[in-house]
Amino acid sequence: MKTKTHVWDVIILLLIAAFLILPLALTFFYSVFTQWTDILPTGFTLSFYAGIFSDGAFINSLLRSIIISFVPVVICTISILLVLYVITLYVPKMEKYIEILCNIPYAIQGVILAAGVISLYSGKPGFLSNRIFLLVGAYCIIILPYVFRGLKNTIGALNVQCVIEAAQVLGCSKFHAFFSIVIPQMKRGIVSTMMLAFTMLFADFVVVNMIAGSSFRTAGIYLYQTMSKSGQTSSAIIVILFITTLIISTLTMIIQNKQTVKGRKS
Amino acid sequence: MNNSLKKSRLYLLGLLPFFLIAFLFEILPLANIVVESFSKTGGNGFTLEHFFKIFTTRLYQQSIFNSLWISIFSAFIGIVIAFLGAKAANAASIKIRNIFTSVLNITSNFAGVPLAFAFMILLGNVGILTLIGKNYGIGFLADFDLYTINGLLLTYIYFQIPLATLLMLPIFGGLKKEWKEAVGILGGNSFHYWFKVAIPSLLPSILGTFSVLFANSLAAYGTAYALLSNNIALLPIRISQQYVGEVVQNQEFGCALSLVMMALMVLSILITNKLQKRATGGRS
Amino acid sequence: MSYIEFRGICKSYDGVNQVLKNIDLNIEKGELVTLLGPSGCGKSTLLRSLAGLEEISSGKIILDGEDITNLPVQKRGIGMVFQQYSLFQNMNVEDNIAFGLKIAKVDKLVISDKVKRAIEMVDLVGKEKSYPSQLSGGQQQRVAIARAIVMEPKVLLLDEPLSAIDAKLRRELQEKIKHVQKKLKITTIFVTHDQDEAMIMSDRIHLMNQGIIEQSGRPVDLYTHPVSKFAAEFIGHYNILDKRKLNILLPFEKFDDGFYAIRPETVHIQSEPIMDDGMYVFEATVENVISRGNVLRYTLRCGDVCFTSEVLFRSFALFEEGQKVCVGIEPHNVLPIRD
């Protein structure tokens, strides 16, 4: 009976994996063939990729996506690190209020947040109605829970209080100690948290579509606009975006592993 | 003098960036949603007309219903598949489990507009499976209509599976081998084990996972928008329509819809918490 | 004037319960003193108030003739080793030890010379480039000691530095700390809850209990002449008897009211009657016997009074449970103590 269940387990895993991989694989094959009207596609080509990369508009949109995802991640990470500095070393009582603020975005995901932000700021004078500014702000809130949790867990694993005291006794200020001793120890956690937040924003469609629309064409918007024009080009874009995301996640892991190895070896 | 320096509250400046961001983009917009939901279109003055419209118009009733329906079903089916997957992965060898986890990690990045597109080329009007179905007379493939709520459900289930399974895997790690042995010693079979021991002990975590999945699909937008544009009664689509697109925009009404959706989110969290408490017997 | 003076130190976290109750304490230059006491007695708080890591509610702290009560931690010229491993994980051994000197902007050549000597002092030559995570607990605390002494602090504070280290290594490190302290003649305050450790290490012990200093003195004085019930119990597992109980053992002797402490190893027992006029002599029954390695501990009973006697384990002096024995105690070993 035991071996029987084992076979069943493998079959289940295979079925699930097949279902998950099928659309992905298909998108890829779709992007490298000109014709697909029967079981097997015909006419292998890389011309769709060549077309995308010779098209400045796509490259620009990709760069826009990278920048608009990266800036909020940096702002959010720095803000949370400063918050953690204050709540771990000065006012631990404040943590629960900060935590509530950081958890609210779970309940106002995507569309609600975007609706709230444009309702409030559209038509307001000056920089407040600047779409890029609003997008950066809204993105900071989207990733807030994940950045807070990631960094808090990282700092929680360290013996911050004692290390800071040791540094103080040696003549170092609290602030200097936090940024020269505690933060370097958090490097791995900070990098992986930032990468996770980045991939979340990189994949965003709803917030950018509602707040900036066609006035700020990120890769997601570009893809949406291409979809009605060319199927193969769209699938090529999807493949490129997907690979970008995968490279970032893989890089995260490599960086993490390297650090542990380095720490152990030397 | 040194004492006064020590007592200075200069460190509070560290909270400034965070509070500035949270105030401008979280607290104010939230408060604004609440206020505007009860304001007359394009002007001031208290009104309940938006909510009256939402709960009496067929389109918006349908949107709430569809949003709930698709969220509950996709979460439920996602959980069932994830349960089987996690159970199988837990029993499989480490090597197989690692490969399976990698597949989950990779495909969990596949959502939104790209996912909608992938399903279009798979099952759309001229999708590959559709064509195969037509060519070889496989009825359910040939007649499958992706551009309906059922088609949408399929795509939602797709993005729920990796997330659900990734959340369930560590939960299964918590099942103790000794429990199964104990059930065996007491004369129970694997039916007893699963339905009397394993599932009840997993229930709080499963409920937690359900809550995450529910929220995940309630807020999902890209897939539906790419697949059906504005032609579907779904809450996120109806909300965004008040701000972008060709239809006359009405942001007060958008705020009211957002408030309804937020209420559903909060409600689902509260219900899960309540159920979780009951499932743990008020222990945690 | 002493090198370190605590004057009227009070400390309360909530304004109601006092952790330190008006403590006056003097420490002389070059001494190794121990603050000994059970957990929660205020010993760590007192130490941390000297370091400036804990604000005091009232009182004055003087170090080397200077009032440091309101001086920030960084300016007090103190070296400290903590109970938890507090090394900077992102720096190797060398960088950890050099950290304070770099902050003080000491010349690079001087730093490397001082660091080298500190590493030799704590026997860590060859580990200069190791990271804390690659070191054992004992090695980590050695680095912490080196990191503190390299600054040539006015006083070295050790806050239960060995309590997380296993017994055998702990003895080695106790020796090491004492050795370093004597060599550098550095004034050192050592906090511990382990009375054996305090006995081994200190020039003077200050025994603390519930926010006050119960007794101060050389280890041997504390051991042989506890002044209170608490000191007698905490330091030497003394038998504590009141006047009533003493009179049950010795009905014909006159005792003042109050408590008396008798060290177990001063309670002599033998099977034949004791012929010594200078001794208190009486009979008791062996209730129980436990062997603690080279020491046998007898629990004896006389009437409703139980007390213990400890004798060196010699095979010819074994008594069995239930056996009647003769007990002798020299009068000067019956110490009157405070409640």
C70 has a chain B CB within 8 A of its CB: yes
Indicate if the pLDDT at residue A262 is higher than 50: no
Answer whether residue B189 is part of any domain: yes
Q: Give me the CATH number covering residue B148.
A: 1.10.3720.10
* Phi, psi angles (nearest 5°) of residue C232: -65, -40
Q: Give me the CATH number covering residue C56.
A: 3.40.50.300
pLDDT of residue A258: 62
Residues of chain C with pLDDT > 70: what percent? Answer: 99
Rounded-to-integer distance, Cα C77 and Cα A112, Å: 56
List CB contacts of B111: < 8 A, sequence separation 6 or more. Answer: A203, B159, B220, B222, B223
List CB contacts of C284: < 8 A, sequence separation 6 or more. Answer: C249, C269, C300, C301, C302, C307, C324, C325, C327
* Mutation for testing the A interface, residue in C48, C76, C82 having most A CBs under 10 Å: C82
Are C73 and C144 in a shared domain? Answer: yes
Q: Give me the CATH number covering residue C309.
A: 2.40.50.140
The mean pLDDT of B89-102, rounded to a whole number, is 87
Answer whether residue C252 is part of any domain: no
Neighbours of A (≥3 Cβ pairs closer than 8 A)? B, C
Indicate if the pLDDT at residue B113 is higher than 70: yes
Indicate if the pLDDT at residue B1 is higher than 60: no
The mean pLDDT of B30-53, rounded to a whole number, is 88
Are C58 and C204 in a shared domain? Answer: yes
A60 has a chain B CB within 8 A of its CB: no
DSSP character at residue B232: S
pLDDT of residue A108: 85
Indicate if the pLDDT at residue B85 is higher than 50: yes
- Number of CB atoms found within 10 A of residue B102's CB: 11
Are C9 and C158 in a shared domain? Answer: yes
Looking at every residue in chain C, the average pLDDT score rounds to 90
Q: Residues C321-324: contacts with CB within 8 Å, 24+ apart? A: C321/C286, C321/C287, C321/C288, C321/C289, C322/C285, C322/C286, C323/C271, C323/C285, C323/C286, C324/C283, C324/C284, C324/C285, C324/C286
Answer whether residue B155 is part of any domain: yes
Looking at every residue in chain A, the average pLDDT score rounds to 87
Answer whether residue C242 is part of any domain: no
The mean pLDDT of C73-87, rounded to a whole number, is 91
User: Which of A101-115, B174-188, C69-83 shows the lowest per-residue confidence on average (mean pLDDT)?
Assistant: B174-188
Rounded-to-integer distance, Cα A61 and Cα A69, Å: 12
Kindly provide the b/e burial profile for residues C233-271, where b requires at least 16 CB atoms within 10 angstroms of the residue's own CB. ebbbebbbbeeebbbebbeeeebeeebbbbbbbbbbbee
Residues of chain A with pLDDT > 90: what percent? Answer: 55
pLDDT band at C270; cut points 50, 70, 90: confident
Distance from CA of B4 to the nearest CA of C (A): 10
Which residues partner with A77 through β-bridges? none
Tokens of A225: 């606009």
Indicate if the pLDDT at residue A256 is higher than 80: no
Answer whether residue C244 is part of any domain: no
Cβ within 8 Å, pair C70-B3: yes
pLDDT of residue A157: 83
Angle formed by the axes of helices A47-54 and A231-265, to 10°?
80
Chain C residue with Cα closest to A188:
C90
Inter-chain contacts counted by CB atoms under 8 A, chains A and B:
230
Chain B residue with Cα closest to A19:
B158
**Most confident segment among A48-62, B22-36, C273-287:** B22-36
Answer whether residue B133 is part of any domain: yes
Q: Which residues of C touch A185 (CB under 8 A)?
A: 88-90
Are C289 and C201 in a shared domain? Answer: no
Residues of chain B with pLDDT > 90: what percent? Answer: 45
At B214-259, the pLDDT tens digits run 999 999 999 999 999 888 899 999 999 888 765 567 888 999 999 9
C71 has a chain B CB within 8 A of its CB: yes
Indicate if the pLDDT at residue C169 is higher than 80: yes
Answer whether residue B221 is part of any domain: yes
Strands (E), B88-204: none
Kindly provide the b/e burial profile for residues B19-34, where b requires at least 16 CB atoms within 10 angstroms of the residue's own CB. eebbebbbeebbebbe
The mean pLDDT of A222-238, rounded to a whole number, is 89
DSSP secondary structure string for all residues of A44-55: E--HHHHHHHH-
List CB contacts of C74: < 8 A, sequence separation 6 or more. Answer: A168, A169, A171, A172, A173
Are C141 and C290 in a shared domain? Answer: no
Q: What is the pTM of this model?
A: 0.84
Distance from CA of C69 to the nearest CA of B (A): 9
pLDDT of residue B42: 74
pLDDT of residue A263: 46
Please name the amino acid found at residue C131.
Y
The mean pLDDT of B159-170, rounded to a whole number, is 92
Reduced 3-state DSSP string for A21-35 = HHHHHHHHHHHCEEE
pLDDT band at A76; cut points 50, 70, 90: very high
Rounded-to-integer distance, Cα A19 and Cα A6, Å: 20
How close are the terminal C-alpha atoms of chain B, in Å? 49
Answer whether residue B33 is part of any domain: no
Chain B residue with Cα closest to C71:
B2
> A251 vs B31, which has greater pLDDT?
B31
Indicate if the pLDDT at residue B4 is higher than 70: no
A177 has a chain B CB within 8 A of its CB: no
Kindly provide the b/e burial profile for residues B175-198, where b requires at least 16 CB atoms within 10 angstroms of the residue's own CB. beeeebeebeeeeeeeeebeeebb
The mean pLDDT of C78-92, rounded to a whole number, is 91
Answer whether residue C249 is part of any domain: no
The mean pLDDT of B133-161, rounded to a whole number, is 88
Indicate if the pLDDT at residue A63 is higher than 70: yes
Which sign does the torsion angle of CA A236, A242, A248, A251 carry? negative
Q: Which residues of B touch C75 (CB under 8 A)?
A: 2
Residues of chain B with pLDDT > 70: what percent? Answer: 95
Reduced 3-state DSSP string for chain C = CCCEEEEEEEEECCCCCEEEEEEEEEECCCCEEEEECCCCCCHHHHHHHHHCCCCCCEEEEEECCEECCCCCHHHCCEEEECCCCCCCCCCCHHHHHHHHHHHCCCCHHHHHHHHHHHHHHCCCCCCCCCCHHHCCHHHHHHHHHHHHHCCCCCEEEEECCCCCCCHHHHHHHHHHHHHHHHHHCCEEEEEECCHHHHHHHCCEEEEEECCEEEEEECHHHHHHCCCEHHHHHHHHCCEEEEHHHHHHHCCCCCCCCCEEEECHHHEEEECCCCCCCCCEEEEEEEEEEEEECCEEEEEEEECCEEEEEEEECCCCCCCCCCCEEEEEECHHHCEEEEC
Residue in C206, C154, C213 with CA at minimum distance from that of residue C184: C154
Coil vs helix vs strand at A42? strand
> C231 vs B141, which has greater pLDDT?
C231
Query: Domains in chain B: how many in total?
Result: 1
pLDDT band at A36; cut points 50, 70, 90: confident
C224 vs C178, C238, C266, CA distance in Å?
23, 10, 11
Q: Using CB atoms, which residue from C51, C87, C90 is nearest to A169?
A: C51
The mean pLDDT of B104-119, rounded to a whole number, is 91
Answer whether A95's CB lies under 8 Å from A87's CB: yes
Strand order in the sheet with C187-192: C78-81, C155-159, C187-192, C32-36, C204-209, C212-217
Are C197 and C271 in a shared domain? Answer: no
pLDDT band at A52; cut points 50, 70, 90: confident
Instruction: Report the DSSP pairing between strands C18-27 and C204-209.
Output: unpaired
pLDDT of residue C315: 63
Answer whether C164's CB lies under 8 Å from C173's CB: no
Residue in B84, B75, B83, B80 with CA at minimum distance from that of residue B211: B75
Rounded-to-integer distance, Cα C129 and Cα C104, Å: 22
Answer whether residue B121 is part of any domain: yes
pLDDT of residue C67: 94
A20 has a chain C CB within 8 A of its CB: no
Distance from CA of C72 to the nearest CA of B (A): 7
Distance from CA of A148 to the nearest CA of B (A): 11
pLDDT of residue A265: 40
Answer whether C134's CB lies under 8 Å from A266's CB: no
For residue C1, the Cα-to-chain-centroid distance in whole angstroms is 25
Range of the domain at B268: 46-279
At B171-222, the pLDDT tens digits run 887 777 777 778 878 887 777 888 877 888 888 888 989 999 999 999 999 9
Rounded-to-integer distance, Cα B243 and Cα C17, Å: 61
- Number of CB atoms found within 10 A of residue C130's CB: 16
Distance from CA of A83 to the nearest CA of B (A): 5
User: Which of B168-172, C34-38, C284-288 shows the lowest per-residue confidence on average (mean pLDDT)?
Assistant: B168-172
* Phi, psi angles (nearest 5°) of residue C103: -60, -40
pLDDT of residue A1: 37
Tokens of C132: 């804390």
Are C309 and C219 in a shared domain? Answer: no
pLDDT band at C246; cut points 50, 70, 90: confident
Determine whether C131 is exposed, middle or buried from the number of CB atoms within 10 Å of its CB (0-12, 13-18, 19+): buried
B172 has a chain A CB within 8 A of its CB: no
Are C228 and C268 in a shared domain? Answer: no
* Mutation for testing the C interface, residue in A159, A162, A170, A186 having most C CBs under 10 Å: A170
Residue in C148, C161, C196, C205 with CA at minimum distance from that of residue C31: C205
**Chain B 42-61, residues with CB within 8 Å of chain C CB atoms:** none
Determine whether A216 is exposed, middle or buried from the number of CB atoms within 10 Å of its CB (0-12, 13-18, 19+): middle
Indicate if the pLDDT at residue C9 is higher than 90: yes
pLDDT band at C321; cut points 50, 70, 90: confident
pLDDT of residue C91: 93
The mean pLDDT of B98-124, rounded to a whole number, is 90
B5 has a chain C CB within 8 A of its CB: yes
Are C290 and C330 in a shared domain? Answer: yes
Query: Domains in chain C: how many in total?
Result: 2
Residue in C148, C75, C69 with CA at minimum distance from that of residue A173: C75
Indicate if the pLDDT at residue B272 is higher than 90: no
pLDDT band at B281; cut points 50, 70, 90: low
Coil vs helix vs strand at B174? coil
Are C220 and C311 in a shared domain? Answer: no
Coil vs helix vs strand at A230? coil
pLDDT band at C317; cut points 50, 70, 90: low
**Chain B 90-109, residues with CB within 8 Å of chain A CB atoms:** 91-92, 96, 100, 103-107, 109
Cβ within 8 Å, pair A165-C86: yes
Are C41 and C164 in a shared domain? Answer: yes
Range of the domain at C146: 4-234
With the CA atoms of A64, A70, A71 and A73 taken in that order, what torsion angle do they form, in degrees rounded to the nearest 10? 150
Are C69 and C187 in a shared domain? Answer: yes
Q: What is the CA radius of gyration of chain C?
A: 24
What is the residue whose two structure tokens read 């003193």? C33
Indicate if the pLDDT at residue B104 is higher than 50: yes
Answer whether residue B198 is part of any domain: yes
Q: Which residues of A touch B27 (CB under 8 A)?
A: 101
B9 vs A151, A175, B13, CA distance in Å?
24, 13, 8
Tokens of B6: 């020590």
Answer whether residue C80 is part of any domain: yes
Indicate if the pLDDT at residue B96 is higher than 70: yes
Q: Cα angle vertex B243, ends B239, B248, to 5°?
A: 100
Indicate if the pLDDT at residue C56 is higher than 50: yes
Tokens of C309: 């006697």
